[in-house]
Amino acid sequence: MNKRALSATAGAAVAAVLAATSAATAAGSVLTTGSAGGPAVAVGDVVAASLSSGTTAKIATTSGGSTGITCNASGFSATVTGNPAAPGTATETLNSHTLSSCTTNIFGATGVQSITVNNLPYTTSVTSGGSLTVSAGSTGPIQTTLKINTVLGVTTCVYRATGLTASPSNTDNSLTFTNQLFTKASGPGTCPANGYFSAKYGPVQDITQGGAAVFVN
């Protein structure tokens, strides 16, 4: 092969590599910070959020109902375990989910002593196009234990879910759960049969990167 042909071949190879690199950069990752298509959220980064300003977390006894439990404080924290190029599915480990400052208007209840999310960590998947799924981890099912104060003492109600879904939004970097069904696993008859969880969290931030807003691509 002559020098001119060799040079042309090498030039074509370099151009192909540059084109592939450019395409990968343009595609971006599923989770980015600062903007859609911005820098990728790194594997190992911690992402977290509290309730969006002016909102509450609710556990209703019926879907969309007004009877149940309302919490003025709630938040979650997760570690990113995978963040491929978009379109794709990013993965996280949900390490913490808390609910506090709660009140109730369930008949016979006088207050809420505590709400504990059990069997953490859970597995979270975030898919391009705006879908988040929470699945049980290796320690057991998605489960929440409610301790409710009554005039007769404290009633313990345990609820489980087969899975949870939420909708991310890049408009305000929020994550919204709507009427996610939990069914009673144990507890006396005074415990409602079901709980429907709704909450809006945001902005979701990459704590490892100084609190930069997280986008889904």
3-state class (DSSP) for residue 68: strand
Q: Is the peptide bond before 192 cis (omega within 30 degrees of 0)?
A: no
Name the nearest CA neighbour of 109 among 190, 183, 184, 181. 190
Domain extent for 41:
3-216
Query: Which pTM does this prediction carry?
Result: 0.86
Q: Report the pLDDT value the prediction gives residue 130, as an integer from 0 to 100.
A: 84
A 10 A CB-CB count for 22 gives: 10
Q: Report the pLDDT value the prediction gives residue 27, as an integer from 0 to 100.
A: 55
What are 85-114's pLDDT values in tens digits?
999 999 999 999 999 999 999 999 999 999
Q: Report the pLDDT value the prediction gives residue 129, as an integer from 0 to 100.
A: 86
Task: Look at the chain and report how many structural domains it folds into.
Answer: 1
A 10 A CB-CB count for 162 gives: 11
Question: Could you report how far apart the first and last alpha carbons of the chain are, in Å?
Answer: 46
Encoded amino acid at 86, one letter: A
Q: Report the pLDDT value the prediction gives residue 8, as an integer from 0 to 100.
A: 40
Query: In the chain, which stretches have pLDDT less than 50?
Result: 1-26
Q: Report the pLDDT value the prediction gives residue 25, as an integer from 0 to 100.
A: 39
